[in-house]
Copies of this chain bind each other. A is one copy, B any other.
Amino acid sequence: MTRPAPQDVRTVACVGAGVIGGGWVAHFLARGYAVRAWDPAPDAEARLRRLVDAAWPALEQLGLAPGASPARLTVTGTLEKAVSEAQFVQESAPEKLELKRELLAKLDAATPAGIVIASSTSGYPMTDMQTEAVTPGRLIVGHPFNPPYLIPLVEVVGGERTDASAVEWASRFYELAGKSVITMEREVPGFIANRLQEALWREALHMVANGEATVREIDRSITEGPGLRWAFMGPMLTFALAGGEGGMAHMLDHFGPSLKSPWTRLEAPELDGALYDAVVAGCADASDGRTIADLVAERDQGVIDVLRATGRLPGTGAR
């Protein structure tokens, strides 16, 4: 068992170097790690270096860790060479279950004992992916968002055969590596954020399929509307503010009946007493003592800041 303390990791392996894998490479390089990458595509190295070069100016703006450099990237000729010296492995292969199963088994065989191996899968449960591995206890999901070098969120969850210590280790490691971690206690297909954005995406596809809205209108309806709020206040607290001084309870009283309106193709859950109470209590908890007036002031300032930052206030440059 050679698992280092999370703060002692110096070398990370990234297996699969497409948009997501390459984005992880850029992130780990910027945070000062040495990165060993492998991808079977013939043009993978050139594409990966282009991606890192394109991301680097943004990463400089974010602030590089001491010693961070694109020169610390090594692209290896084999999977084994990428992982043999790694203290953490991030797998970002194409989203095909069979392929993931086989690859994770290979990675498990080639990676030093105990080292945690994370999959970037957008939705497969680790339970379904770890079936072929000899030591599945160290396999976890670490699901990022595109681009992984800028979007903080990583959803961390294990499978049925994953050791709790590997989940805990990975959550701590990602935090030290500058990510914002949600550690899930149980496997849910699509995790949390992907389920939410997938619901939105499917509704958008329905609208396009039915000629109800164009791609441009769909995008504008978000960037000029709810998207401005969601950059800093999530959909639940945002909706709580639609209830005015009464907050989420009043919002549910007022808009609860609309849940049964045919406003999406997604069937709504029954808004029974238990769900009502859970949502209201959850909002109270997430408010961390802030009153509705506090939240309104915070939201208003946030929208203004975001409008200004994205060049949409009078006197700021248009994007």
B263 touches A220 (CB 8 A): no
Chain B residue nearest in CB terms to A182: B217
Residues in B with CB closer than 8 Å to A285 are 214-216
A77 at the binding interface (Cβ < 8 Å): no
Contact with B along A284-305 (1 / 0, CB 8 A): 0110000001001111111111
Interface string of A222-252 (1 = CB under 8 A from B): 1111111111111111110111110000000
Q: Are A221 and B182 in contact (CB under 8 A)?
A: yes
Q: Are A265 and B266 in contact (CB under 8 A)?
A: yes
Interface 9-mer from A7-15, A54-62, A111-119: A54-62
Which one of B201, B216, B235 contacts A218 once the chains associate, using CB atoms below 8 Å?
B235
The answer on a CB contact under 8 Å between B196 and A204 is yes
Q: Is A164 an interface residue (CB 8 A)?
A: no
* Known pairs A230-B231, A282-B208; A195 contacts B153 (CB<8 A): no
A266 touches B264 (CB 8 A): yes
Determine which of B95, B192, B243, B306 lies in contact with A306 in the assembled complex, contact meaning CB atoms within 8 Å: B306
User: When chains A and B are docked, how far (Å) is the Cα of A20 from the Cα of B182?
Assistant: 33
Residue of B nearest to A239 (CB): B201
Smallest CB gap from A187: residue in B: B212
Closest to A305 in B: B309
- Given A196-B203, A196-B222, 16 new contacts (CB under 8 A): A58-B301, A122-B255, A153-B220, A184-B213, A189-B261, A190-B264, A199-B199, A201-B239, A202-B267, A202-B268, A202-B269, A203-B266, A204-B235, A219-B233, A227-B234, A228-B231
User: Using Cβ atoms and an 8 Å threshold, which residues of chain B touch A226?
Assistant: 145, 151, 193, 196-197, 230
- Residue contact A310 to B236, C-beta cutoff 8 Å: no
Pair B208/A279 contact, Cβ less than 8 Å: yes
Contact in complex: B19, A220 (CB < 8 Å): no
Residues on B with C-beta less than 8 A from A299 are 147
Complexed CA–CA distance, A19 and B109 (Å): 59
Give the distance in Å from the alpha carbon of A175 to the alpha carbon of B95 in the complex: 44
- Please, which residues of chain B bring their CB within 8 A of the CB of A76? none
Q: Are B220 and A234 in contact (CB under 8 A)?
A: yes
* Chain A 53-71 near chain B by CB (<8 Å), digits 1 or 0: 0110010011100000000
Whole-angstrom CA separation of A35 from B95 in the bound complex:
55
How far does the alpha carbon of A155 sit from the alpha carbon of B207 in the complex, in Å? Answer: 15
Interface residues of A in 25-62 (CB under 8 A from B): 47, 54-55, 58, 61-62
| Chain B positions within 8 Å of A155 at CB level | 221
Q: How far is the CB of A230 from chain B (nearest CB, A)?
A: 3
Chain B residues positioned under 8 Å from A215 (CB to CB): 236-237, 278-279, 282-283, 285-286
A163 at the interface (CB under 8 A from B): no
